[in-house]
């Protein structure tokens, strides 16, 4: 959408280069795309990210729809949904009754009331910090990974 934050990658790529991966044969199907198409965060067909269980329901963020969903895993029917802060939500994690959602392009974490979707708090990372990608919360600590494999933690409780 017009006005979306630009796609971000880790500022640490130069310090921690990715190891080379074995490449599939040319024309081999890879993740829904033909080998050779490099789309990264521009990939239009991404699905559920940051999946978490809570009270027998599955919660996840979906970047293309810019929403968080709660579904009943027995029926796969959406029970609740609410909008995210921007266009690249990734990891989610529970802190008590609240659900934190990270947005990789905004380089930030947003605390939501899952009943209303209202944002009640924000943690903004510096541009030089590792890019928040996957995220969860355990025992008062937010754990997140950068898109190059670095794991970080923030004490939130």
| pLDDT tens per residue across span 1-56 | 778 888 888 887 666 555 666 666 666 555 544 444 555 545 556 788 889 999 99
- pLDDT (mean) for 52-70: 95
Contact criterion met (CB below 8 Å) for 60 and 48: yes
pLDDT confidence of residue 46: 74
pLDDT confidence of residue 99: 98
pLDDT above 80 for 101: yes
- pLDDT (mean) for 77-91: 95
pLDDT confidence of residue 149: 82
CATH architecture for segment(s) 49-155: 7 Propeller (2.130)
Strand partners, 142: 137, 154
Dihedral (CA of 37, 41, 46, 50) sign: positive
**Cα Rg of the chain, angstroms:** 16
Task: Report the greatest alpha carbon distance in the chain.
Answer: 49
pLDDT confidence of residue 44: 55
pLDDT confidence of residue 26: 64
| Dist. CA 111–CA 92, nearest whole Å | 10
Please indicate whether residue 97 or residue 157 has the higher confidence score (pLDDT): 97
Report if pTM > 0.75. yes
Contact criterion met (CB below 8 Å) for 70 and 87: no
Q: Which of these, 105, 104, 90, lies nearest to 136 by C-alpha position? A: 90
């Amino acid at each position: 959408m017009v006005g979306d934050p630009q796609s971000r990658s880790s500022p640490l790529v130069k310090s921690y280069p990715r190891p080379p991966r074995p490449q599939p044969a040319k024309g081999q199907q890879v993740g829904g795309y033909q080998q050779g198409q490099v789309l990264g965060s521009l990939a239009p067909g991404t699905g559920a990210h940051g999946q978490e269980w809570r009270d027998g329901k599955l919660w996840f963020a979906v970047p293309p729809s810019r929403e968080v969903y709660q579904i009943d895993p027995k029926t796969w029917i959406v029970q609740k949904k609410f909008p995210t802060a921007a266009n690249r939500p990734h990891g989610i994690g529970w802190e008590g009754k609240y659900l934190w959602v990270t947005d990789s392009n905004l380089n930030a974490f947003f605390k939501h009331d899952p009943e209303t979707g209202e944002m009640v708090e924000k943690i903004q990372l510096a541009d030089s910090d590792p890019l928040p990608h996957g995220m969860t919360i355990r025992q008062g600590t937010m754990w997140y990974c950068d898109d190059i494999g670095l794991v970080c933690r923030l004490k939130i409780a």
